[in-house]
Amino acid sequence: MSKQSVEKNEIIENLSKQQIAKAIKTAKNGTKSTTNNYTVSICDIMKTNTSEVIKKMQSQMLLRMELLSDLYMKYLHALDDLYATGYVTEKEFLDKIPIDNDTLQAWDNYWNTWKQFLFNQMDAVAEFEKSYVNVRKSTIDSYDNYMHLWMELYAKSLKQINVFMDNNQKTK
C-alpha cells in the first residue's frame, strides 16, 4: 500500500460521523448537473449502453441465420453438382465394371449407418445447445433475483443513511 493510500485511510478513520455525513451530502449534491437540473445516473448510462449493444446483436440475428442458410445451400448445391457428375461418370464407366450387387448393398448400408450416426450426433448437439441455453437463462434469472434482493437492501441502506443525515442536520 502506498504512503498516500495509508494517509488517506488514516484521514477517513479520524473523521467524525458528522464529517462523514457532510461529505456524503456534499458528494450527493455534487452529482447533480447544473443544466436543467438533469441528474446523470451510472445505472442509466450502463443500462442504456448495454441494452443498445444487445438490441444491435438481436437485430442482426435474422441476417446471420439467413447468411448461414445461404452458405449451407451453397454447400448442398456444390455437393448435388458433384454427385450428379459422378452419377454420369458411373453410368459411363463403372457400369462396365462388374460390381456385385451385394457389395453395392453393403456399401449403401455402411453409408446409411454413418448417416444415422451423424444424425444422432446432430440431435445430441441440438439437445446440448438447448440445455446450455436453458442453463444460461436460469443463471440469468437467478442473478436477476439476487440483484433485485441486493438492490432492495442497498435502497434500505441509503434510506438509513438519509435518515442519519437528516437527524444530524436537525441537531445542528
Least confident piece of the model among 33-42, 124-133, 153-162 = 33-42
Crossing angle for the helix pair 42-59 and 61-92, to the nearest 10 degrees: 20
Least confident of 2-6, 51-55, 57-61, 166-170: 2-6
The Cβ-side half-sphere exposure at 103, using a 13 Å CA radius, reads 4
Question: Residue ranges of the domains in the chain?
Answer: 15-58, 60-97, 101-172
Q: 166 falls in which pLDDT band (50, 70, 90)?
A: confident
User: How far is residue 125's CA from residue 113's CA, in Å, rounded to a whole number?
Assistant: 18
pLDDT tens readout for residues 15-52: 555 566 666 666 556 554 445 566 778 888 888 898 99
Mean pLDDT computed over every residue of the chain: 82
Dist. CA 52–CA 11, nearest whole Å? 42
Please give the average per-residue pLDDT across 135-159, as a whole number: 94
* pLDDT tens, position by position, 73-101: 999 999 999 888 888 877 777 777 888 88
Q: Is the pLDDT of residue 7 over 70?
A: no
Q: Does 70 have pLDDT greater than 90?
A: yes
Buried b (16+ CB within 10 A) or exposed e, 11-31: eeeeeeeeeebbeebeeeeee
pTM (2 decimals)? 0.50
Mean pLDDT, residues 59-82 taken together: 92
